[in-house]
Amino acid sequence: MKKRPAGLIAIVAYKACVALLLIITSIALLLALKNHQALAAFSASYVLEGKAAIIDRVLDRVLKIEPRTLKFSGITVGVYAGITAIEAVGLWYEKVWAEFLVLGLTGIGIPLEIVELSRGISPLKLAIFMINTIVFVYFFQRVLTEINIRNKRKETDMNSL
């Protein structure tokens, strides 16, 4: 079995963790949609009064979201989770299409992350931006290296004729 580069293994692990987190988020959003009224009743119950302020704040924010928005968000996050999982599997098997998929999706996200950072820097935003930039540069270099290798092979083949 071919030994995979450490950078690739780290990126696959990162993508797999992100996919898992997105799947959990999608399920939570869709469950919140399904149980919107029950959550509202639970939030208003005396059980939460002063005992679990953090839970009350989270429920309050979720309950302010329109059901259509919850549904759209849950489905969108689920689709993105699927794409991220496909990326991870493709990268694990070192498929070229997966590298291009990562380049495209990560490249699209970087300008949006810069805009988000310009609105306010937080450790999480900065960490995500840095990780995605490193992933983009890593695969950009891999693709360029592969293109150079293929071009040299073509030149060698042409010269041997």
Residue 44 has pLDDT above 80, yes or no: no
pLDDT tens, position by position, 126-135 = 999 999 999 9
Query: Distances from the Cα of 149 to the Cαs of 22, 86, 90, 101, 152, in angstroms?
Result: 36, 26, 21, 21, 5
Q: Considering the entire predicted model, what is its pTM?
A: 0.75
Amino acid code (one letter) for 11: I
pLDDT for position 39: 63
User: What is the rounded CA–CA span in Å between residue 27 and residue 101?
Assistant: 25
pLDDT for position 52: 60
pLDDT for position 102: 94
Q: Which residue has the higher pLDDT, 151 or 64?
A: 151
